[in-house]
């Protein structure tokens, strides 16, 4: 793929349908704000996207994984997360062309390295959590998928992105969307979003 070709954000209409299916109005407004910030980030530098970006998949991913992200933004780690009592020690590793791209994802190692280099360990955990949610959703489509989400977590939705998901763009866009002083963080602070309220 030419590095000069501009890749689009796709399935925007489907993302709006996905938004409409989120029952909780506060959660729906927060996911909508995150998607709007991702689109704003893209508009600043469309060349930063390597593959067509499935916004509907990302909407479903945010719907599934949002509560853990909100907990981490409050520096709360609970037993439902895949690490229990401390944040993971992330390490930078060399990008391996054979591992950095998979059937359903691109720039995987580069995205993990971006998280590892993030000075704010809580934001690094939020971004790694987003990657984990995306990977779980993709894995859940497999015939041998086994995952017990725990009694406080919703069942993992089994969804594939329409095109291989650019993980590096995803974490960079979410990092931008969740920046301090930005509209999403302001919305979170204004509405509170009780961390004990779990989706079903």
| pLDDT tens by residue, 25-40 | 999 999 999 999 999 9
Dump pLDDT digits (tens) for 51-68. 999 999 999 999 998 888
d(CA 171, CA 123): 10
If pLDDT is split at 50, 70 and 90, which confidence band does 122 have? confident
Q: Is 40 exposed, middle or buried (0-12, 13-18, 19+ CB in 10 A)?
A: middle
CA 80, 127, 138, 197 dihedral sign is positive
How many CB atoms sit inside 10 A of residue 186's CB?
12
Integer-rounded Cα radius of gyration of the chain: 16
pLDDT at 94 over 90: no
Cα 123 → chain centroid: 12
- Please provide the average confidence, as pLDDT, over all residues in the chain: 83
**Closest to 40 in 3D by CA, of 55, 25, 60:** 55
Cα 101 → chain centroid: 17
Task: Show the tokens assigned to 23.
Answer: 């029952």
Dump pLDDT digits (tens) for 151-177. 555 578 899 999 999 999 999 999 999
C-alpha distances out from residue 163 to 16, 50, 60, 107, Å: 18, 11, 15, 13
Residue with tokens 């406080």: 152
If pLDDT is split at 50, 70 and 90, which confidence band does 193 have? low
pLDDT-wise least confident of 71-80, 160-169, 178-187: 71-80
Residue with tokens 């409409």: 20
Predicted local distance difference test score (pLDDT) of residue 150: 55
Whether 45 and 161 have beta carbons less than 8 Å apart is answered as: no
The kind and range of the H/E element at 165 are strand 165-166
């Amino acid at each position: 793929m030419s590095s000069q070709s501009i890749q689009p954000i796709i399935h925007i209409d489907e993302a709006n349908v996905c938004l409409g299916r989120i029952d909780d109005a506060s959660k729906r407004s927060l996911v909508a704000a995150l998607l709007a910030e991702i689109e704003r980030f893209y508009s600043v530098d469309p060349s930063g996207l390597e593959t067509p970006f499935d916004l509907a998949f990302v909407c479903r991913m945010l719907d599934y994984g949002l509560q853990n992200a909100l907990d981490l933004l409050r520096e709360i780690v609970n037993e439902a997360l895949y690490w229990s009592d401390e944040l993971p020690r992330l390490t930078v590793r060399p990008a391996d062309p054979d591992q950095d791209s998979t059937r359903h994802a691109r720039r995987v190692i580069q995205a993990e390295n971006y998280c590892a280099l993030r000075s704010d360990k809580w934001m690094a955990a939020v971004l790694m959590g987003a990657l984990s949610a995306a990977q779980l959703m993709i894995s859940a489509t497999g015939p041998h998928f086994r995952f017990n989400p725990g009694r406080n977590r919703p069942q993992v939705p089994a969804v594939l992105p329409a095109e291989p998901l650019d993980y590096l763009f995803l974490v960079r866009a979410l990092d931008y969307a969740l920046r301090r002083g930005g509209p999403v963080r302001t919305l979170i602070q204004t509405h509170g979003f009780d961390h004990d309220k779990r989706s079903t």
